[in-house]
Amino acid sequence: MNQNIINARVTFRNSPIHILEQFTIKDMKNAYEQFKTNSGLDECVIIQTCNRIELFGKSKSYDSDKIKKTWATITGLEEEAFNENIEFVENHEALHHLLKLTSGLDSMVLGEEQILGQIKNSITSAREVKASGQHLNTLFDKAIRIGTRIRNSSGIGAGGISVGSMAVKLAEENIDELKTKKVLLIGTGEVSTLVAKSLQRRGYAFDVTSRTMGRSETFCETMGGNPAKFEDVFSGFDNYDVIFVATTAPYFLVTNDRITEAMKNKNKGMMILDLSNPRTVDEKVATIGGVKLMNLDQIAEMVEKNMNARLNKVKTVENIINEEVSVLEASMKRLDAEPLVKDVFKNIENLRERELQKALQMLDEKDEKKIKIIEELTKAVVESIVSTPMNNIRKASEQGKPDVVELASKLFDYKKQNQVD
C-alpha cells in the first residue's frame, strides 16, 4: 500500500484492568486533534471500551515514537509506560486485527455483540470530527459488513454472553437464593444496560440509580428495575446485598468508609461487582469483613472458563477472516489508484462534452432524438476506450504495483497536489 494502515493498541490481553485504565482517553475531541496534529497520521479512529483502547491510523509514513508521545501527552503518562503495554501492527496485520474485532474473535467474551456497536460508534464519531477520511471510512465500513456476515454465518455469537450477563452469573455463583436479595445497579450506560437486560431476563428485581432521578426513571422505563434516589442509595448501602457498579466517574463512588459504615448495620454479607473503567470502587473494600469485591479482571477469568462452547467455532471464523482479509487488503490498495482514475474520467468527460457541443454546432442539429443518439454514441466510445486501461490501473494498485500507478499518473499528467483525499 502507498498508504499505511496502522493499529496501536493497549488491551486486556497484555495489560490488567488497573494498568489499562491509565491509558484511557477522557477528552476524545482533543485526542483526535492531537493525533492529527502531532502524530504524523493523516486519518485516525479511536476505539475505546472497558477492555481496550485502540488507535487505527492512515499515513504514507509514520513514526511509532510520535504516536506514543502524543498518546502520553493526552493521558498524562510517561512515554516509558507504553513500552510494555502497547502493541503496534500495520497493513495486513492491522486489517486482520480489525476483522477479528468486528467478528468478536478478539473480545474478552468470545463472539459478544457489544464490540460491533462500539466500533460503529467509533467510526461515526471520527467522521463527525473529520478525523477519518476516505481510507479509514472505507476500511471500517467494509470491516463492519464483513464482521456482521461472519457472525451470522458462523454462529460465533449464538447464545451471546455479554460482560453484563457474566457479572450476573458471578453474582448467582456467589450469592445463595439471589432472587430473595436486594440488588442495586449504579449507572445507566452501555454496561449497565447489559446488566439490566440479564437481571430482567432472569426475573430478578433490582434498583437503579444515577446522578439524576430523571435518567434513572427513563432507564427503568425501557430496561426494567426501580429508580432510586442517588443520595438515598449512597447513605443506605446497608439496604443492599448485591451492588453492580458501572459508571464513568473519574473517582471512587463506592468508598471504603461508606461500605465500612454500611456493614455495621448488616447481619449478612454483601457482594460488589465493579464493571467500571476506570474503577469506581475502592479496592480497600475487599478487606472489609463480609464483603466480596469482584472486578473486570475476575470476569475475565470467568470468561475463560465459560467459552468452551464457542471455541470449536473459532477455527471456522479464523478461516473466513483469512479469506476476507485478502479481499479487504485489495480494496484498500485500490484506493491508492482511485484519485487518478476519477481525475482521468473527469477530464475525459469534460473533453467529450466540449467536443460534442462543437460537433452539434457544426451540424446545426436541432432534432432532440438525433442529439440523444449522438451523445450516447460519444459516451459509449469513451467508455470502451477508457474502461480497460482504468481497470488495469486499479488491478495494478490492488496487486501492490505502485510503479504502474506512478507511470499512469505521468501519462495522464495527474497532479496529486490538486486532489483532496
Q: Which residues have a Cβ under 8 Å from the Cβ of 206 and sit 6 or more positions away? A: 183, 184, 185, 196, 199, 224, 225, 226
107 annotated among ligand-binding-site residues: yes
The answer to whether the annotation marks 112 as part of a ligand binding site is yes
163 is in an annotated binding site: no
C-alpha cell at 67: 504516536
102 annotated as belonging to a binding site for a ligand: no
Distance CA(219)–CA(79), nearest Å, equals: 40
Is 189 annotated to bind ligand?
yes
Q: Is 187 annotated as a binding residue?
A: yes
- Give alpha helix (H) positions in 129-211: 134-154, 163-174, 190-202
Q: Kindly tell me the sign of the dihedral angle through the C-alpha atoms of 130, 136, 142, 146.
A: negative
Q: How far apart are CA 335 and CA 284, in angstroms?
A: 53
> Given CA atoms 205, 209, 213, 214 in this order, what sign does their dihedral have?
negative
| 220 part of the active site | no
229 is written with which cell numbers?
Answer: 434516589
Q: Is 118 annotated as a binding residue?
A: yes
Question: From the candidates 20, 41, 50, 259, which is the catalytic residue?
Answer: 50
- Give the integer Cα–Cα distance in Å for 56 and 143: 13
216 is in an annotated binding site: no
Q: Which residues pair with 78 in a beta bridge?
A: none
DSSP secondary structure letter of residue 22: G
Supply the DSSP string of 239-292, one letter for each residue: G-SEEEE----SS-SB-HHHHHHHHHT-SS-EEEEE--SS--B-GGGGGSTTEE
Q: Is 301 annotated as a binding residue?
A: no
Residue 118 in contact with residue 49, Cβ under 8 Å?
yes
- Tell whether 210 is in a known binding site: no
**Residue 157 is labelled as binding a ligand:** no
Is residue 34 within 8 Å of residue 44, measured between CB atoms? no
114 annotated binding-site participant:
yes
Phi, psi at residue 48, to the nearest 5°? Answer: -135, 120
Q: Is 419 annotated as a binding residue?
A: no
Which three cell numbers mark 188? 445507566
For 108, the 3-state DSSP assignment is coil
- Active-site residues: which are they? 50
The binding site for substrate consists of 49-52, 107, 112-114, 118
The binding site for NADP(+) consists of 187-192
The binding site consists of 49-52, 107, 112-114, 118, 187-192
